[in-house]
Structure 1
């Protein structure tokens, strides 16, 4: 999640280990369940996986999901949150037989932190056993319940523990597994699904070294190169979005511009620990600002503004990678069941694609978490990020397999939000207009937003008044000249040649655009 200990809009999920026979790969089935009230940041810090700072826009909600698996250290089992957006293992509670290294480390997250002594102990991760695995031993308190923790599956170079050793002794669990099991392919994959089974609404798998059966086609998808960050400590599993790679609800490509110097494509980070994708504000605006009833506003559940909209609005958004399209289920574009109320007390929904504003990074443009990953099976091949392993020395890459069936997704939305009655054809977006920076400005009134333009509005109004006066005068003059004159009355004299007309010459007001 670039990690979040108390996440929000995240749908809560548990990763439970399956009892598999000894093998050269690991597969962990995912079982989804709603979790207790927690907090989740709406934005990510830009300072790197292990060097996070505070950020605004935190959301509190009951619609969270977390992904857990079981890890054994020194024979003691811990339920750890699975996070491809961080790179450190820490647990809270006693680890039998653990040995101190005399070193300390800490990880500061957007919400919360974890710090303590770096210890080593034997680790069992499904069928894998690793000796002397380094981890942070955290004291038990209300923020760090006993026998819980986080296992980071991000790049080794971004680990705070590794930074303290700068040697194999500080390697992450994922690296240690690949280094000790050289015949295991150096990749992990994430499949986050959705089902009609109320006892298992969010099925899925996280695998190490194998593909989820039935999804073997992922290995034939385009290999998207993992972009390397100049600061290895800020390295993410990130790649490039295609040019014109975001198709909005109107079917048109959303214009975007990367914050990364020298690139004309957006840099995208994939993160299993983060539910609300963080996108440029222009993208968030383009998706939600034209929805009737949508508001960029503060809600009781948030300590910052978010896009809210009616729950019965179906919005279709598509992302493009490697020339292929990855549609997002409208249930993931317009999030419901979040216990967010409007000013009149009725339930409203929240846009999943929120703007990355105050904490935006100069090395990536957006973060695609669960709301996207429920629609695309993700495979990350670590390649030469695993040092000491003979299994792979090639460049690392990412592959994505689309999971969305648009016809089925539409039916799911109609059944879930419209009571099975398809009236979506009556929905129309508002006309396109310049909404740039609506999501990055405060919740201003209309008069405040118009204030900078008042001089031009006044000038235009004055010019229009003058034109009306001119037109009226011309009309009256024309009517008088056209009146019947008796023949014995002299004709009216015209103006002398050197005399100006009795009204000023119209001057076009100067306008700036």
Structure 2
């Protein structure tokens, strides 16, 4: 059986096909940070369960009657798959929807049934196809095709051809959340596991009590990874022309910076380094304008706010996952697993070659002329300013996050569905020393 489903991914518009007996083809977003399936509009042959459910995000929501219908996912077939039938409106176009790839225990539909009738699609696939390995993989990338700049593959039960080495990578244990309804695909970052643009370790304290390592959630539904404020500040704050500005689509402040600045950042998991392509650290083509009307780029690694939690520290989304092939083995998280079933784990395969990534940046952002400075300046003399500025920004983030968290019953993610608008107001420049060399390579 071929378990590979080809997908086309751009920002949060991750699309695949969901089929019913009535030959209804539905285009779906597939975030790994949510766990429910919903579809807008009529699904032929769907049957009512007499139940309702709602899925609430920091931006947007979906609610309606819980229905069941036959589902085909590539060559896998599932009968009576439960989903939320959502009324069509401007926010929920007909034949559009979301198929959550997260743990079953976090499903709102499952909560209404509290038995396998409410299991999410991944669980149903593995329950009804017992010979299929209990894992999914996500491979994101980039191409020169302007109509499809970020292609990708989603697989169930097997790996993408040519990337079989992922199964020999370190197995990262999935950390259990004390609140099963808030369970995500999350693991530990290595100690001193973030290397900043200057080649130095970025220090950050976990919000999880008793841990000296950062807890990381992997979520394909996030365009912009969410990181501790100190991490975002260490990456972007001292870049000449960088600003911490309000972006409507992000419902808050984000770092913007000149598009010609190369920033190199590395994350470490299981003793393996995962360098991030500078084209992902400094995102372009988002239609963001600075105060002078010229285009600016957006820093991918943004301070975590409305998605903040006391059980994890950061969410690594698409900007990171274009640099690492992701495999999630559900293990005994599949409903009905036996005691002998192994615990769930995550594997990552690094995809980015730093030298090739540098050339990509020079070709795309600097017109092929490499005028970057390959010698990184040390920032230790400026640490007092960095600490002071990071604390100031952190206080603002904590206040904002507390207000958002206090207003909702369960943790909610902030999905960025739209590019940032033009004509953004520029906030007062943060109190950090600035690098002065143009086109600097960090």
Q: TM-score range by the shorter chain?
A: 0.7 to 0.9
Tell me which structure has the larger Cα radius of gyration: 1
For the pair 1:439 / 2:416, whether they are aligned, the reply is no
Instruction: Report the Cα distance in structure 2 between the residues aligned to 1:350 and 1:444, rounded to whole angstroms.
Output: 14
Equivalent in 108, 132, 145 of residue 184 of structure 1: 132
Structure 2: where are the runs of 5+ without partners?
397-425, 433-442
Match of 1:313 in 2: 261
Instruction: Report the Cα distance in structure 2 between the residues aligned to 1:334 and 1:438, rounded to whole angstroms.
Output: 23
Aligned-pair distance for 1:427? 8.2
8 Å Cα contact 2:173/2:346 also seen in 1:
yes
Equivalent in 330, 336, 342 of residue 278 of structure 2: 330
Secondary structure at the residue paired with 1:419? Answer: coil
Instruction: Report the Cα distance in structure 2 between the residues aligned to 1:391 and 1:146, rounded to whole angstroms.
Output: 43
Equivalent in 111, 123, 133 of residue 71 of structure 2: 123
Instruction: Report the Cα distance in structure 1 between the residues aligned to 2:340 and 2:348, rounded to whole angstroms.
Output: 20
Aligned-pair distance for 1:428? 6.3
Partner deviation per Cα, 1:393-416 (whole Å, 9 max, x = no partner):
100000000000100000000001
Instruction: Report the Cα distance in structure 1 between the residues aligned to 2:93 and 2:305, rounded to whole angstroms.
Output: 32
Match of 1:242 in 2: 190
Matches within 5 A, 1:99-248: 99-198=47-146, 200-248=148-196
Q: Kindly tell me: are residues 391 and 93 of structure 1, through their superposed partners in 2, closer, same or farther at Cα, counting changes over 3 Å?
A: farther
Equivalent in 381, 384, 399 of residue 329 of structure 2: 381
Aligned-pair distance for 1:253? 0.5
Match of 1:69 in 2: 16
Match of 1:475 in 2: none
Match of 1:52 in 2: none
8 Å Cα contact 1:241/1:320 also seen in 2:
yes
Aligned-pair distance for 1:73? 2.7
Aligned-pair distance for 1:142? 1.3
Q: Kindly tell me: are residues 301 and 114 of structure 1, through their superposed partners in 2, closer, same or farther at Cα, counting changes over 3 Å?
A: closer
Match of 1:30 in 2: 7
Instruction: Report the Cα distance in structure 2 between the residues aligned to 1:139 and 1:241, rounded to whole angstroms.
Output: 41
Q: Kindly tell me: are residues 89 and 262 of structure 1, through their superposed partners in 2, closer, same or farther at Cα, counting changes over 3 Å?
A: same
Matches within 5 A, 1:268-347: 268-298=216-246, 303-347=251-295
Secondary structure at the residue paired with 2:373? Answer: helix
Q: Kindly tell me: are residues 396 and 291 of structure 1, through their superposed partners in 2, closer, same or farther at Cα, counting changes over 3 Å?
A: same
Aligned-pair distance for 1:199? 5.2
8 Å Cα contact 1:296/1:439 also seen in 2:
no
8 Å Cα contact 2:172/2:345 also seen in 1:
yes
Q: Kindly tell me: are residues 316 and 392 of structure 1, through their superposed partners in 2, closer, same or farther at Cα, counting changes over 3 Å?
A: farther
Partner deviation per Cα, 1:335-368 (whole Å, 9 max, x = no partner):
1111111111111111100001354210000000
8 Å Cα contact 1:78/1:148 also seen in 2:
yes
Instruction: Report the Cα distance in structure 2 between the residues aligned to 1:305 and 1:284, rounded to whole angstroms.
Output: 12
Secondary structure at the residue paired with 1:265? Answer: coil
Q: CA RMSD in A?
A: 2.2
Q: Kindly tell me: are residues 303 and 94 of structure 1, through their superposed partners in 2, closer, same or farther at Cα, counting changes over 3 Å?
A: closer
Instruction: Report the Cα distance in structure 2 between the residues aligned to 1:440 and 1:279, rounded to whole angstroms.
Output: 11
Secondary structure at the residue paired with 1:83? Answer: coil
8 Å Cα contact 2:12/2:29 also seen in 1:
no
Q: Kindly tell me: are residues 428 and 217 of structure 1, through their superposed partners in 2, closer, same or farther at Cα, counting changes over 3 Å?
A: closer
8 Å Cα contact 1:74/1:95 also seen in 2:
no
Partner deviation per Cα, 1:21-55 (whole Å, 9 max, x = no partner):
xx1x510122345xxxxxxxxxxxxxxxxxxxxxx
Aligned-pair distance for 1:65? 4.5
8 Å Cα contact 2:58/2:306 also seen in 1:
no
Normalized against structure 1, the TM-score is what? 0.74
Partner deviation per Cα, 1:63-103 (whole Å, 9 max, x = no partner):
x4511111013422211111111111111111222211111
Q: Kindly tell me: are residues 284 and 108 of structure 1, through their superposed partners in 2, closer, same or farther at Cα, counting changes over 3 Å?
A: same
